[in-house]
Amino acid sequence: MSPSGERENKNRGYIIPIGGAEDKFHNTEILDRFINECGGKDARIAIIPTASELPDTGPTYEKLFRKIGIKHAAVLPIVTRKDANDPEHIAYINKSDGVFMTGGNQLRLSTTLGGTETAIAIRRRNAAGMHVAGTSAGAAFMPEHMIAGGREGSTPTPDKVTLAPGLGLTNSFIIDQHFRERDRLGRLLTALAYNPFAVGIGLDEDTAAFIRPGDDLEVVGSGGITLVDPGELSYSSMDRAREGEPVSLIGVKLHILIAGGRFEILTRTANAE
């Protein structure tokens, strides 16, 4: 899948990966910001629960959005690839202001949506201004290169991560979630060692990156974001490391940003606020 548009596309909507376990009851700051970007309480939100095997995941988010005040929020029950080509689902996405992808298993998203009319519609509408948010698995699925799975630990090894094609909303970032809570630095570093072009985003729970047109991001939420920038990588032993062996990476930059922090992709600069 190709990205929805180039960095210079000023009309593109926000891409909003969330690290999972976002606050749904007390401080709904992340979801409130998503709704505001979509146009407020008159916005139309399409909820895609494909990543989850739990039947109540979609309805739970629909009730939550309606409780927050959204008048038009609907679950698109996409379980099979046939569902993902359903004209009614495509029509709803085409008139939506925002799409929200729930958590679960990101491989369910890639194998069910990949190459379907739903995936095409989301990319086209995002390029035209529709905002796309995803939590946990929904966040990992957003970029061109998706982290499909991996093992815990802080040291990269060749077998630390499994990569798969993602939705393709951006090729500037590789995204991981539940980052600090599940000790996932090693697998993000491994993914970047395989593809040093991208910047790694490690999202803590209840934390989101609001990625605006131009691929600059702002941190929203109660946790932190670990940004791993391999742009000045001068040495990597990935090409000769064997399975299970540690990998040496020299010249990698790491930033920790909390709420209000920003990162500019073109200049590769981070700011605390």
pLDDT digits (tens, 9 = 90+) for 141-188: 999 999 999 999 999 999 999 999 999 999 999 999 999 999 999 999
Residue for token pair 């630390």: 160
pLDDT grade, residue 10 (50/70/90)? confident
pLDDT grade, residue 273 (50/70/90)? confident
Out of 3.30.70.100, 3.40.50.880, 3.40.1280.10, 3.30.230.10, the CATH code matching 15-271 is: 3.40.50.880
DSSP tag of 83: G
Nearest to 194 by CA among 157, 166, 169: 157
- Active site residues per annotation: 136, 178, 205
Longest alpha-carbon distance in the chain: 56
* Euclidean distance between CA atoms 52 and 6, whole angstroms: 31
List, in sequence order, every beta strand (DSSP E) within 155-265.
161-165, 173-176, 199-203, 207-212, 216-221, 225-229, 235-236, 249-250, 253-257, 262-264
- The pLDDT tens digits for 36-77 are 999 999 999 999 999 999 999 999 999 999 999 999 999 999
pLDDT grade, residue 195 (50/70/90)? confident
**pLDDT of 7 over the 70 cut:** no
Nearest to 14 by CA among 2, 4, 24: 4
pLDDT grade, residue 5 (50/70/90)? very low
- pTM for the full model? 0.96
H-type helices in the chain, by residue range? 29-38, 57-68, 87-94, 106-113, 117-128, 137-140, 185-194
Q: How far is CA 125 from the centre of its chain?
A: 16
Q: Which pLDDT does position 1 carry in this prediction?
A: 42
**pLDDT of 3 over the 80 cut:** no
- The pLDDT tens digits for 199-222 are 999 999 999 999 999 999 999 999
- The pLDDT tens digits for 91-136 are 999 999 999 999 999 999 999 999 999 999 999 999 999 999 999 9
